[in-house]
Amino acid sequence: MPVARLLPRAAVRALPSCGCRASVVPLRPQSTSPRQLPADASFHSVSFSDSEHPRVLITGGLGQLGVGLAKLLRKRFGKDNVILSDIRKPPDHVFSSGPFIYSDILDYKNLREIVVNNRITWLIHYSALLSAVGEANVPLARAVNITGLHNILDIAAEHSLRLFVPSTIGAFGPTSPRNPTPDLCIQRPRTIYGVSKVHAELMGEYYHYRYGLDFRCLRYPGIISADSQPGGGTTDYAVQIFHDAIKSGKFQCNLRPDTRLPMMYLDDCLKATLDVMEAPAEALTMRTYNINALSFTPEELAQEVLKHMPELQVTYNVDSVRQAIADSWPMNFDDSNARRDWGWKHDFDLPEMVTAMFNFLSSEARAARAN
């Protein structure tokens, strides 16, 4: 648990949005090793002017979204300003594409050392267990999604980082309005994943109001990506259908054909993430926003896929755990606040998303055949 301790310089800061005063930044007692701090370092001594690029750390970087986001951010801020991190070993193409570092979000000291040594100013926190795998291992999901988040929050507050934590449609539950689901409504999720994400939203907002932490959060729908696989989510079927269609011409869906869920193409998700991180603080009337793009059922997605692959055979074999989760989630998201405050707008509708997926996967298959 964070132990509040007075900091000589950074302790009291004005909070722009609520007009109240920040009290002490939560700091954990740490022994500092000589390796950890350069001789002339002092807390908060590194200031960045607006014209300088942020120094970004992405945790959980080898999941579905990290590599794509790193590519986008490196294009904008320079290759060396964006560090991908994970506890897993990166594949060659990721390792050679830019800085990669080992970081374990459950190891507070390791994380703190990385932030200090690399002069990190933005932290994108992607480490998490998703909905279906979370139900299969609740203690691990609790450790990664909740204890890990506490480490991230304390380090972000201590080092005045701009912090992005994704939330999800899974932060809502059966008692939330489902079609559409507004930003502010009842949130009583029934999964450990959802509970941990509501916790992240509330803790991030609390640190914002209490300590002035620049916390920014988007509730992602199911994300559909071609060059990275999701891991253990309820919406994974919407990615798997493309891979199975190309590989075997057959797809067995683990949700009922009429299960409607909000979804989004990866490029839109990454664009939204960069946009909200760059939005001026004054534009943000909230710190957690829904973002929406598509809303479809497995049957509707299959119809669209069949236009590209008329020979595809789709069958249904419902997984009761995933179905129960999906039945408790929003069918459609109201994202009007994001559209109003920072100009969120998606580019890909359902036919465009399906075409983009096939274009990517078939060019990849052609390249594999050529090698």
Q: Which residues contact 335 (CB under 8 A, 6 or more apart)?
A: 289, 290, 291, 292, 344
Provide the minimum distance between the beta carbon of 230 and ligand AKB in the complex, in angstroms, as a whole number. 6
Provide the minimum distance between the beta carbon of 292 and ligand AKB in the complex, in angstroms, as a whole number. 12
Q: Which residues contact 233 (CB under 8 A, 6 or more apart)?
A: 130, 131, 132, 133, 222
Provide the minimum distance between the beta carbon of 37 and ligand AKB in the complex, in angstroms, as a whole number. 37
Provide the minimum distance between the beta carbon of 11 and ligand AKB in the complex, in angstroms, as a whole number. 37
Residue 29, token pair as written in the block: 């007692």
Taking CB under 6 A as the rule, does residue 181 contact ligand AKB? no
Taking CB under 6 A as the rule, does residue 130 contact ligand AKB? yes
Q: Which residues of 284-305 are buried (b: 16+ CB within 10 A; e: fewer)?
A: beebbbbbbbbbbbbeebbeeb
3-state secondary structure of 347: coil
Choose one: 6-14, 142-150, 166-174, 355-363; the region binding ligand AKB (CB under 6 A).
Answer: 166-174
In order, the DSSP letters of 278-319 are HS-GGG-S-SEEE---EEE-HHHHHHHHHHH-TT-EEEE---
Give me the residue whose beta carbon is nearest to ligand AKB: 233
| Nearest residue (CB) to ligand AKB, 251 versus 329 | 329
Provide the minimum distance between the beta carbon of 58 and ligand AKB in the complex, in angstroms, as a whole number. 17
Considering only residues 187-206, where is the footprint of ligand AKB by CB under 6 A?
A: 193
Count other Cβ atoms within 10 Å, centred on residue 160: 19
Considering only residues 207-266, where is the footprint of ligand AKB by CB under 6 A?
A: 220, 222, 230, 233-235
Q: What are phi and psi of 193, to 5 degrees?
A: -60, -50
Burial of 237 (0-12, 13-18, 19+ CB in 10 A): buried
CB 264 within 8 A of CB 345: no
Tell how strand 162-164 and strand 214-220 pair up: parallel
| Nearest residue (CB) to ligand AKB, 129 versus 213 | 129
Considering only residues 30-69, where is the footprint of ligand AKB by CB under 6 A?
A: none
| Nearest residue (CB) to ligand AKB, 100 versus 265 | 265
Q: Which residues contact 76 (CB under 8 A, 6 or more apart)?
A: 53, 274
Choose one: 72-80, 148-156, 163-171, 299-307; the region binding ligand AKB (CB under 6 A).
Answer: 163-171
Residues serving a catalytic function are 193
Count other Cβ atoms within 10 Å, centred on residue 87: 14
341/104 Cα distance (integer angstroms): 34
Count other Cβ atoms within 10 Å, centred on residue 244: 18
Provide the minimum distance between the beta carbon of 131 and ligand AKB in the complex, in angstroms, as a whole number. 3
Choose one: 165-173, 206-214, 264-272, 341-349; the region binding ligand AKB (CB under 6 A).
Answer: 165-173
Residue 13, token pair as written in the block: 């800061």
Provide the minimum distance between the beta carbon of 166 and ligand AKB in the complex, in angstroms, as a whole number. 8
Number of residues in contact with ligand AKB under rule CB under 6 A: 12
Taking CB under 6 A as the rule, does residue 298 contact ligand AKB? no
| Nearest residue (CB) to ligand AKB, 235 versus 292 | 235
Taking CB under 6 A as the rule, does residue 131 contact ligand AKB? yes
Choose one: 51-59, 116-124, 136-144, 167-175; the region binding ligand AKB (CB under 6 A).
Answer: 167-175
The site for ligand AKB (CB under 6 A) is made up of 130-131, 168-170, 193, 220, 222, 230, 233-235
